Amino acid sequence: MIKVKRENVIYSIPEEEKGDYLKKGYSLLDSNGKEIKPKKKDDNKELETLTKRVEELTTEKTNLESEKADLTKRVEELTKQIEKLSKKDKE
């Protein structure tokens, strides 16, 4: 948990929500209650990097889902072929 401040009110929030609160105008506080000035450039760069990574992972997920569907279809086709061959062998 970290502490943020807005209009003289201090809130404890999860670390993961820090960026959201900073965007809304909250100030980040250190363990002594003093305001920490955010590094805008670093925060923006980190946000850009993470956004790009999310896009890459989303694309990869979509590709893997498509590949899974193709492989599942191929397995079904091969299973049908095996069943046909098995029936022919029994006759």
What pLDDT does 65 receive?
97
Confidence class for position 75, pLDDT limits 50, 70, 90: very high
pLDDT in tens, 23-40: 888 888 888 888 887 666
What pLDDT does 74 receive?
97
Instruction: Using the CB atoms, write b or e for 57-80: b if 16+ within 10 Å.
Output: eeeeeeeeeeeeeeeeeeeeeeee
What pLDDT does 54 receive?
96
pLDDT of residue 78 exceeding 90: yes
